[in-house]
Amino acid sequence: MPDEKRALEQKDPWQGFCAFVETVCSLQAADQGFADLMTLNDPGARNCRSIVIAPNAGIVELIHRAKATGRLRDDFVAEDLVLLQMANSGVLAATGDTAP
């Protein structure tokens, strides 16, 4: 998982948030195993998925700072990153090697 500390070090919190999300999506594009983990439906896989993408204090702070800029919706929560990653995995699965 990308280091959210680097994102928190950015002067512009919105840019830090965007860089973090872009890094996560790039990681999924580069690592099929990571991308597959995001779309597992096996109930036993939830524990594995939550370990990989569990929001920690740094990610929560990153979201809070991005919200404070007014550029991230007030109702965005850390768990929305999980949905974003699942959606990105679906895009990667659909586009394959043609447009990662």
pLDDT at res. 74: 96
Domain range list for the chain: 4-92
CA distance 11 to 39: 33
pLDDT at res. 27: 85
- Longest CA–CA span in the chain (Å) reads 40
Closest CA to 55 of 34, 81, 86: 81
Quote the pTM value: 0.77
Q: Locate 14 and state its tokens.
A: 């919105």
Q: Which positions ≥6 away from 74 have C-beta within 8 Å?
A: 67
pLDDT at res. 96: 73
Q: What is the pLDDT of residues 1-60, one digit of tens each?
A: 567 888 999 999 999 999 999 988 888 888 877 767 766 655 565 555 555 555 688 889
